[in-house]
Chain A
Amino acid sequence: MAGKLDSKIPSGAVEDKWDDHKFHSKLVNPANRRKHTVIVVGTGLAGASAAASLGEMGYNVKSFCVHESPRRAHSVAAQGGINAAKNYKNDGDSVYRLFYDTVKGGDFRAREANVYRLAQVSAGIIDHCVAQGVPFAREYGGLLSNRSFGGAQVSRTFYARGQTGQQLLIGAYSALMRQVDTKQVQLFYRREMLDLVTINGQAKGIIVRNLLTGEIESHEADAVIIATGGYANVFFLSTNAMACAVTASWKAHKRGAYFANPCFTQIHPTCIPVAGEMQSKLTLMSESLRNDGRVWVPKTQGDKRPPTQIPDAERDYYLERVYPSYGNLAPRDVASRQAKFRVDEGRGVGPTGMAVYLDFRDSIERLGASKVKERYGNLFQMYDKITGENPYQVPMRMYPAPHYTMGGLWVDYNLQSTIPGLFVLGEANFSDHGANRLGASALMQGLADGYFVIPYTLGNYLASEKMEKYGTNHEAFKSAENNVRSQISKMMSIRGARSVDSFHKELGHVMWEYCGMSRNAEGLRKAIEKIPKIREEFWSNLRIPGDAAYMNPELEKAGRVADFLELGELMCWDALEREESCGGHFREEHQTPDNEAKRDDEKFCHVAGWEWLGANKKQVRHKEELTFENVKLATRSYK
């Protein structure tokens, strides 16, 4: 069984693998590229950069997004920055150090070869984005500015104020629209992928629903690329946008693509705490704030004084206390867990007691309010808008929230899934971040995959296999279309009593309670019992108003929640069977005496790839063993 999860890591020294692999990959000559059609689903950083680059090379690209425009994809919301091993600061950075930090940050559950390649291409991403006109922050001398992010002791993060994601996405989007202008890329907006079509075991197309008209459409291609992001919305409340879903990945999973490490989810430490039952999403405050903000709680339980009246001696700057060398820039998983510990100890702050302070008093004294405003102005303004409080005067209140998912569809070194011809890029795949992603690495990975990896590995696939054209009248397309239609009519015909959101919230509560920041076997078993019951009620008591033949947002949401109801259970199984703690996966049974994650490298130094066997059947867990030839397996310490 392990044979199926062949990572296809090239041989040789880690620093030579990618160059050798590129040289040995087969090429499609420029005149032949126009004979190939490639489908790219998703237009975030990974999808838009892939579609643009493949279009530039001369492939016929069909680009799909659920949004009204590619520029709305959720990469747009990334705030803090993008890492690159440029060493512009002369502070000891290198490709090797970025590689090392990322492997260590991921708690030794990522593939070394992939991570090394990521670090190698990182510098080229910055060059390319600058050439596109991305307005990164600059110093007075005109050169690019950098800041620090969690889990690193160098300054390697490039940024565009608090909206790096939007600026990078506009860069990728404009490159994509340039290809739309030349007709090399055909854009299909407001389309949702609802099935993958495979013929003779190869990915050959997709079925989409036109969200404007309700029509079901078939699209054929020689290869399919999924770049539809992560699944943190399984928790209902997360920092993801409302349309973020696992649906495209899940449909591919049900067609044979293995799903890897679903329990590796990132809970981001600094988000604005939950207000009430009507809350629809959580808003993140960039990790970059921890460059200048200090995290603390009162030393005594139940200290209800306003924060400004609590003297320093009675404050516990717990990250600085527990992790003196990284301090407030401890990695995300560590910082989140520490916040939870403080709240569990009864030292949480704010009206609900479910928050910690992030305080800028000292940096405002040190730098002046105007400098702080220049660095974080838009974030402070956003905080003020949401909470009605001014963070220049009182500390922000923060609590961890689901943010990113390291797990995703399993891919090999070529970013190809277990289905030949199906490639998965960006957050949708699992490959580079192990059990915890470092800040400012998601943008890097999305663009690395799209600009610099897939243009090489896709060509090798297209040149190696015989590419038959079947046409969308082929029985495989027809049966997939029927599959989609029957799911839609099944959902529409229930006409029960409960809204989609009510089910989504119920699932979210279970996931957060039992498969959130910390997990234990008993809770996970409880969740595994509860989720199928929610699913059963969903399929018998769901109410979707209107009909399927026109724009119907409730129907769209229902399809996504149906998939989350299956994924949630798999996440719990994955968390249950991974009897260790690593990165964001914290099993209470496996911790060190000082509450740090305790890995079990003997039994779990592997990727878990899950195989779908049919509805309501337990999935099969396959393993891809991880070997560490360069970075020595060690206990991760930030002390």
Chain B
Amino acid sequence: MAGSNSKKINITLKVWRQKSAKEAGQFMTYEMKEVSTDASFLEALDQLNEKLITKGEDPVTFDHDCREGICGTCGFMINGNAHGPQKSTTVCQLHMRTFSDGETLTIEPWRAQAFPVIKDLMVDRSAFDRIISSGGFVSVDTGNAQDANCLPVSKPEADAAFESAACIGCGACVASCKNASAMLFVSAKVSHLALLPQGQVERNERVDRMVAQMDEEGFGACSTTGACTAACPKDISLSNIAKLNRELLFSTLLRREAAEGDGV
């Protein structure tokens, strides 16, 4: 917005350019003149692309859609920080007023084996969809539900479930983790449903299947350093991971007990 503090700054961008997953990538340097501090980071990239197009060059490809911080489509590293330096902010909501005149910013895609680069800053996060389809749901067909108020849920529990459900699936947690672990993402979904009465029936099977799928996708192990939660634009808490570990332990014990039979 053209607020009273609006001004123009010059920025140097070092952007990761990679034509496809098969080709090698490299950093290219672009000088950006007269960027409005009221522009969002993606609008500054739009401005760069507009210039590249008029010069006949290939514009920088990046994923983005709602540009209001909720769809989870955008995301890349700025100077090594997922979604840039501002806390609790997706890169589409990051504004240029965060930066100072003359700064150099290095931009690169999420780096993870399970998120192969498609082009430039765009990566393939379909692994997340496969994890959800392995159990991130309540198996209820349309048309079977009882009245919504038949089953009260205490406000603290409902609020806690909401906090976990607020994950937008952007992948910043994976990109920020030295092991490229997806534990924050998976644990947010597991906690969301485990906290609600509706999620109880499939609780054990859910955590087993989702964790197995996560491993199969090639995400790394969690070492609980908390880099994920620090980078998360929706402040998903590390306690979700503790919850997931408890859920998994419980379900593993149950499975073992079932396998050993009644004689135990």
Contacts and interface: CB of A to CB of B under 8 A. Distances in A.
Contacts, number: 243
A322 to B, nearest CB: 27
Interface stretch (B106-114, B138-146, B214-222): B138-146
A466 interface: no
A280 B146 contact: no
A382 B153 contact: no
B142 A52 contact: yes
B68 A69 contact: no
Interface stretch (B58-66, B178-186, B249-257): B58-66
B46 interface: yes
Interface in B115-143: 118-119, 122, 124-126, 128-129, 132-134, 136-143
B66 A76 contact: yes
A276 B199 contact: no
A278 B97 contact: no
B137 A554 contact: no
Contact of B58 (A141, A163, A546): A546
Contacts of A130: 145, 148, 151, 198
A397 B1 CA distance: 10
B146 A131 contact: yes
Given A88-B149, A131-B140, A280-B46, A388 B196 contact: no
A554 B60 CA distance: 10
A382 B93 contact: yes
Contact of B155 (A128, A131, A139, A386): A139
B133 A178 contact: yes
Interface in B184-218: 192-193, 196, 198-199
B166 interface: yes
B67 A280 contact: yes
Contacts of A249: none
Contacts of B161: 133, 135
Given A241-B71, A550-B20, A140 B155 contact: yes
B142 A141 contact: no
A445 B37 CA distance: 39
Interface residues on B, range: 35 or more
A73 B53 CA distance: 28
A181 B134 contact: yes
A388 B97 contact: yes
Contacts of B38: 275-276
Report which residue of A52, A70, A546 has the largest number of chain B beta carbons within 10 angstroms of its beta carbon.
Answer: A546
B65 A74 contact: yes
Interface in A132-171: 132-133, 135-144, 160-161, 163, 165-167, 170
A1 to B, nearest CB: 38
A351 interface: yes
A143 B149 contact: yes
Most A Cβ at <10 Å: residue of B70, B97, B118, B168: B70
A69 B158 contact: no
B225 interface: no
For chain A, the bracket of interface size reads 35 or more
Nearest to A69: B129
B40 to A, nearest CB: 8
A56 B142 contact: yes
Prevailing SS type, chain B contact patch: loop
Contacts of B151: 130
B176 interface: no
A388 B147 contact: no
B50 interface: yes
B168 A166 contact: yes
A178 B64 CA distance: 26
Contacts of A163: 70, 166
Nearest to B55: A545
A71 interface: yes
B149 A144 contact: yes
B263 interface: no
Contacts of B2: 275-276, 350-352
B132 A177 contact: yes
B93 A501 contact: no
Contacts of A76: 66, 70-72
Contacts of B243: none
B57 A128 contact: no
B61 A385 contact: no
B169 A177 contact: no
Residue among B50, B68, B97, B148 having the largest count of chain A Cβ atoms under 10 Å: B148
A578 B212 CA distance: 59
B44 to A, nearest CB: 8
Interface string A43-82: 0000001001100100000000001111110101100000
A238 B68 CA distance: 12
A388 B5 contact: yes
A175 interface: yes
B3 interface: yes
Nearest to B36: A276
B211 to A, nearest CB: 15
Nearest to A543: B53
B73 interface: yes
Contacts of B46: 278, 280, 501
A256 interface: no
B39 interface: yes
A278 B144 CA distance: 49
B206 to A, nearest CB: 11
Nearest to A53: B142
Of A49, A124, A173, A181, most buried by chain B (CB within 10 Å of CB) is: A181
Interface in B3-50: 3-6, 19-20, 36, 38-40, 42-44, 46-47, 50
Interface string A172-197: 01110110110000010100000000
B54 A389 contact: no
A165 B59 CA distance: 32
B119 A77 contact: no
A86 interface: yes
B152 interface: yes
B67 A167 contact: no
A124 B147 CA distance: 8
A278 B146 contact: no
Contacts of B93: 382, 385-386
A551 interface: yes
Contacts of A279: 39, 43
B145 to A, nearest CB: 4
Contacts of B165: 133, 135, 160, 167, 170
Contact of A77 (B1, B71, B88, B132): B71
A382 B1 contact: no
A397 B4 CA distance: 13
Contacts of A231: none
B162 interface: yes
B229 interface: no
A623 interface: no
28 contacts: A68-B73, A69-B128, A76-B66, A76-B71, A128-B142, A135-B161, A142-B152, A142-B155, A163-B70, A165-B70, A166-B70, A173-B132, A174-B132, A177-B136, A242-B66, A280-B40, A280-B67, A284-B68, A351-B1, A351-B4, A388-B3, A451-B142, A455-B142, A543-B56, A545-B53, A545-B59, A550-B20, A550-B119
Q: Which 5 pairs of residues, A with B, have the shortest CB-CB distance? A: A142-B152, A174-B137, A177-B133, A127-B145, A131-B145
Interface of A: 49, 52-53, 56, 67-72, 74, 76-77, 86, 88, 124, 126-133, 135-144, 160-161, 163, 165-167, 170, 173-175, 177-178, 180-181, 187, 189, 212, 241-243, 272-273, 275-276, 278-281, 283-284, 350-352, 381-382, 385-389, 397, 451-452, 455, 497, 499, 501-502, 543, 545-546, 550-551, 553-554
